[in-house]
Structure 1
Amino acid sequence: MSVRKIMLLGRSSLVISLPKPWLQLHKLKKGDAVSISMRRDGAMVVYPSVKKGEDRYVQIEVDKNEPKELIARKIIALYLNGYNNIELKSTGVFPPHQQQLIREIARKLYLRIMEASPKHFYFQSYLDESKVSIDLSVRRMHSVAYSMCKDAVTALKENDLELARTIYALDDDVDNFYHFIRKILRSAMLNFSLAETLGVTPLSCLDYKRLVDCIEHTADCASNIVKSVILLNETGYRIPTHTMELLVNFGSTATEIYNEAVNTFFEEDLNKANSIINKCNSLWNISTKISESILKEQEATLVCTICSLREYIDRIIDYSVDIAETAINKSLSYV
């Protein structure tokens, strides 16, 4: 820790000097502006102001035989790490399947393709991170996931294939929100000035990160439920009425608990969050009844499908507990 003496400048102004290594690190000079923030504990934080027009650039080489999955993960990682200008160069020529993948990933991440050729892709992000509302973005992501869960239960109950396929396609929208919000949170944790503008702290970024993880996983569960509905329909088998009633009741209850948990996160209601956790812990009896109903089935396809459906709903409840626990942690973070 560097110690500085307070000096008197003029008749009443008190000043301190800034450490030279810090100035060199941020390339600051006379006349540049810095931002000052007062923390809750009374400490003062000084950080360089955001400089407009400074976009991070990166160039990576892609082998023409590189697996599609690896290319996708590289692009997403660069995006999440705040690179607004990304250039891909092929060691040979981008085969059609790689070109299609790159364009699809760019679309999902809202990256604009500026240049494209058989050997080269260059795209940019024009997102102004300082104008993003994290709360609003998370609420919109939750709205889609919640709708998916409700409709997934309806599709299961009514064996509605058209609705099931529509829900399955919505999972991409949740994934898009997920990558977008994670990028903002990572940027805020690296850039104190941006965090100040967005009204978040490193600790609250971790809470939001946990929340969007759970929302994304919940949407995946809804997607898997309708996938099971579609696959079961193709086999021609039907879930027995009693077991179906248990699954629908279980799914509807889990969906509403999930919605309550997310709302509690924003309300920071400790007692309500604790009540949600207790409610989740009391649902084991429904899961047990579904397990008992499976014992009566002899058809392997039905047994596997019912087990899978019960497991997906169980996971939604588990994620609801995680969200409620995060809400409790958030509500007590500044006692």
Structure 2
Amino acid sequence: METRKIMALGKSSLVVSLPKDWVDSNGLEKGDELNLQVQRDLSLLVKPSLQGQTEGRRISVDIGEDIGSDSIFRIVTGCYLNGYNDIILKSTDIFSVKQQQAIRNVVKSLYLRILESNASSVTLQTLMNESMANLFNGVERMHLITLSMCNDVLKAMKNWDLDLARSVVALEEDVDQFMFYLIRLLRSAAIDPALANHLQIDMLDCLDYQTLVDLIERVADNVHNVAYSLVQIEEYKDSVPVELWEKLIKTTEASMNAYGDAIEVYRQRSVESCDIIIDEQYELSKLTRSITPFPNITVNMPFFYPLFVIRDSVMCIGDYASDIAELTIDKAYKPK
């Protein structure tokens, strides 16, 4: 602990200098603002002001005429996740129609808008304001969308409701948008102490929450796979053995319930309940494996592959529920 003397400035002001290492690590300069908070024990907490630190981050990227749509999506996503507020895409000639469409598609997938645009240059600007962000609400909203997908796809399987299954497929994009938003927030907090203080998290929390967000997104991906496969199977539903379909529904319901329970346990930090979820995963795996080989179904049947995808996706959801439970145990014993 450093000790510093209070010095007089003028007739009535008292000042104390700031440690140089602390100033450098927070990237502070003359004229920057600090937040001062008096604690209950009358100690003084000094934090860099978050406002202004998230402004003005710009990056310019050259896009060659041979750069494809997938590469543009990955480039813009990488810039977005690394905290840039303005992303300037410059073509070495002019953007092709496919490149222009790729840029519009990535804007829809992320919290971005097109600020300026012409034939050879596009400026994208994030709609995200870290100073007003709430990490916990974001994770909760991402989970609620995923949970609604779980409930709807299960209902669609029981009733062969294709419209409901298609709506589940569409919702996966909303989960992805939240995932990108939260990963950007966590990556920024990992290198910005002021943002981390604002979000009330530390470096270890950043790692834990990034793992949780990734697991929720994977659950949503697999629910999407189940819904999409259900749409593919519908025209052959009379050919699917009733006993097999009932087993798939039972397994799906068990996996979806395990995911919901795992998130609830994560909220409560209940280690004892985590053990139950992890142990149940073994029984769920046995139930899933009992479905294979599919009875009276051969590989050349048109509905074989969709059934296989549903079985594997359901098994993955159960695995991710177990992973969330294990993450809860790790977080419960986090050093104070």
After TM superposition, the score normalised by the length of structure 2 is 0.87
CA displacement 1:260-280 (0-9 Å, x = unmatched) = 101211211111112111111
Task: Name the structure 2 match of 1:81.
Answer: 82
Residues 1:9 and 2:6 are matched in the alignment: yes
Contact 1:6–1:16 at 8 Å: present in 2 too?
no
Contact 2:26–2:48 at 8 Å: present in 1 too?
no
Q: Secondary structure at the match of 1:89?
A: strand
Task: Name the structure 1 match of 2:27.
Answer: 26
CA displacement 1:49-106 (0-9 Å, x = unmatched) = 3352732001111112211101100000000000001111111111112111111211
Measure the CA separation in 2 of the matches of 1:23 and 1:140.
36
Contact 1:34–1:46 at 8 Å: present in 2 too?
yes
Contact 1:134–1:198 at 8 Å: present in 2 too?
yes
Cα distance change on mapping 1:297 and 1:25 into 2, 3 Å: closer
Q: Relative to structure 2, which stretch is displaced further, 120-129 or 76-85?
A: 120-129
Residues 45-124 of structure 1: matches in 2 within 5 Å? 48-52=48-52, 54-124=55-125
Contact 2:26–2:192 at 8 Å: present in 1 too?
no
CA displacement 1:294-316 (0-9 Å, x = unmatched) = 14323633443332211110000
Measure the CA separation in 1 of the matches of 2:274 and 2:237.
42
Q: Secondary structure at the match of 1:200?
A: coil
Cα distance change on mapping 1:285 and 1:84 into 2, 3 Å: same
How far did residue 7 of structure 1 move? 4.2
Task: Name the structure 1 match of 2:230.
Answer: 229
Task: Name the structure 1 match of 2:11.
Answer: none
Cα distance change on mapping 1:46 and 1:307 into 2, 3 Å: same
Structure 1 vs Structure 2 CA RMSD: 2.7
| Equivalent position amino acid for 2:76 in 1 | I
Contact 2:62–2:91 at 8 Å: present in 1 too?
yes
Contact 2:7–2:16 at 8 Å: present in 1 too?
no
Identity %: 31
Q: Relative to structure 2, which stretch is displaced further, 20-29 or 150-159?
A: 20-29
Contact 1:7–1:16 at 8 Å: present in 2 too?
yes
Measure the CA separation in 2 of the matches of 1:51 and 1:201.
19
Runs of at least 5 residues in structure 2 that lack an aligned partner in the other structure: 9-13, 38-43
Residues 1:285 and 2:286 are matched in the alignment: yes
Contact 1:59–1:89 at 8 Å: present in 2 too?
yes
Task: Name the structure 1 match of 2:209.
Answer: 208
Measure the CA separation in 2 of the matches of 1:46 and 1:86.
32
Task: Name the structure 2 match of 1:170.
Answer: 171
Measure the CA separation in 1 of the matches of 2:204 and 2:21.
29
Runs of at least 5 residues in structure 1 that lack an aligned partner in the other structure: 38-43
Cα distance change on mapping 1:52 and 1:74 into 2, 3 Å: same
Residues 140-159 of structure 1: matches in 2 within 5 Å? 140-159=141-160
Contact 2:226–2:310 at 8 Å: present in 1 too?
yes
Task: Name the structure 2 match of 1:133.
Answer: 134
Q: Secondary structure at the match of 1:283?
A: helix
Measure the CA separation in 1 of the matches of 2:22 and 2:175.
43
Contact 1:26–1:48 at 8 Å: present in 2 too?
no
Task: Name the structure 1 match of 2:267.
Answer: 266
Q: Relative to structure 2, which stretch is displaced further, 56-65 or 147-156?
A: 147-156
Q: Secondary structure at the match of 1:296?
A: coil
Measure the CA separation in 2 of the matches of 1:74 and 1:136.
28
Contact 2:190–2:203 at 8 Å: present in 1 too?
yes
| Equivalent position amino acid for 1:313 in 2 | V
Task: Name the structure 1 match of 2:318.
Answer: 317
How far did residue 329 of structure 1 move? 0.7
How far did residue 47 of structure 1 move? 6.2
Cα distance change on mapping 1:129 and 1:5 into 2, 3 Å: closer
| Equivalent position amino acid for 2:6 in 1 | L
Q: Tell me the number of residue pairs that the alignment of Structure 1 and Structure 2 aligns.
A: 324
Contact 1:112–1:123 at 8 Å: present in 2 too?
yes
| Equivalent position amino acid for 2:208 in 1 | D
Q: Secondary structure at the match of 2:65?
A: coil
CA displacement 1:218-240 (0-9 Å, x = unmatched) = 11111111111122235566321
| Equivalent position amino acid for 1:117 in 2 | N
Contact 1:7–1:14 at 8 Å: present in 2 too?
no
Q: Secondary structure at the match of 2:290?
A: helix
Cα distance change on mapping 1:57 and 1:136 into 2, 3 Å: same
How far did residue 189 of structure 1 move? 0.8
| Equivalent position amino acid for 1:231 in 2 | Q
Cα distance change on mapping 1:247 and 1:121 into 2, 3 Å: same
Measure the CA separation in 1 of the matches of 2:149 and 2:279.
25
Measure the CA separation in 1 of the matches of 2:171 and 2:18.
54
Measure the CA separation in 2 of the matches of 1:156 and 1:175.
23
Q: Secondary structure at the match of 1:86?
A: strand
Cα distance change on mapping 1:5 and 1:14 into 2, 3 Å: farther
Measure the CA separation in 1 of the matches of 2:159 and 2:21.
69
| Equivalent position amino acid for 1:6 in 2 | T
Task: Name the structure 2 match of 1:41.
Answer: none
